[in-house]
């Protein structure tokens, strides 16, 4: 992805250009991503770590927006997924939601929104035997035990 310091939006009504800083789009996408079911959080960057130390919230963490060599918008989104979620569905829903939010607020469209799953987040209350995640992994353990018993 080519580095960009500004994204230019042509105002077709009066023929003027509007410059949008990529960080504005990153914030829009960061907020929208947190609202998608199955997204447990965003992966932070060095910038978000510094903001956390300074007591500031970094709404764009986990999102990088830039232009490719042909001036097409490309986004890289780094997320953590809730355990038990179907990752392809979460990624596709996330891409659709981000496209819609950015289009609605800026009238910009993306050539690519690349979703990178960087982690799996388990529920904090792992002690409950009735949780879906516990059930999912106990089913996997049981299947694994049955297969190893058959091989013996």
pLDDT of residue 30: 92
Report the pLDDT averaged over residues 78-106. 95
2: which strand partners? 67
Q: Residue 36 — very low, low, confident or very high, per pLDDT cuts 50/70/90?
A: very high
Closest CA to 49 of 41, 38, 57: 57
Q: Give the pLDDT band of residue 18 (cuts 50, 70, 90).
A: confident
| Token pair 């910038």: residue | 47
Q: Within a 13 Å sphere around the CA of 9, how many CA atoms are in the beta-carbon half?
A: 16
pTM exceeding 0.85: no
Pair 28, 37: CB distance under 8 Å: no
């Amino acid at each position: 992805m080519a580095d960009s310091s500004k994204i230019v939006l042509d105002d077709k009504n009066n023929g003027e250009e509007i410059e949008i800083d990529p960080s504005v789009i990153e914030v829009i996408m960061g907020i929208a991503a947190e609202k998608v079911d199955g997204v447990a959080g965003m992966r932070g960057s060095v910038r978000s770590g510094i903001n956390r130390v300074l007591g500031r919230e970094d709404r764009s963490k986990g999102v990088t927006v830039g232009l490719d060599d042909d001036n097409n918008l490309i986004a890289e989104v780094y997320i953590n997924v809730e355990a038990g979620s179907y990752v392809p569905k979460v990624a596709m829903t996330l891409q659709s939601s981000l496209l819609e939010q950015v289009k609605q607020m800026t009238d910009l469209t993306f050539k690519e929104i690349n979703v990178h799953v960087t982690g799996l987040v388990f529920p904090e209350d792992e002690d409950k035997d009735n949780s879906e995640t516990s059930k999912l992994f106990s089913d996997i353990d049981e299947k694994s035990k049955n297969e190893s018993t058959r091989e013996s």
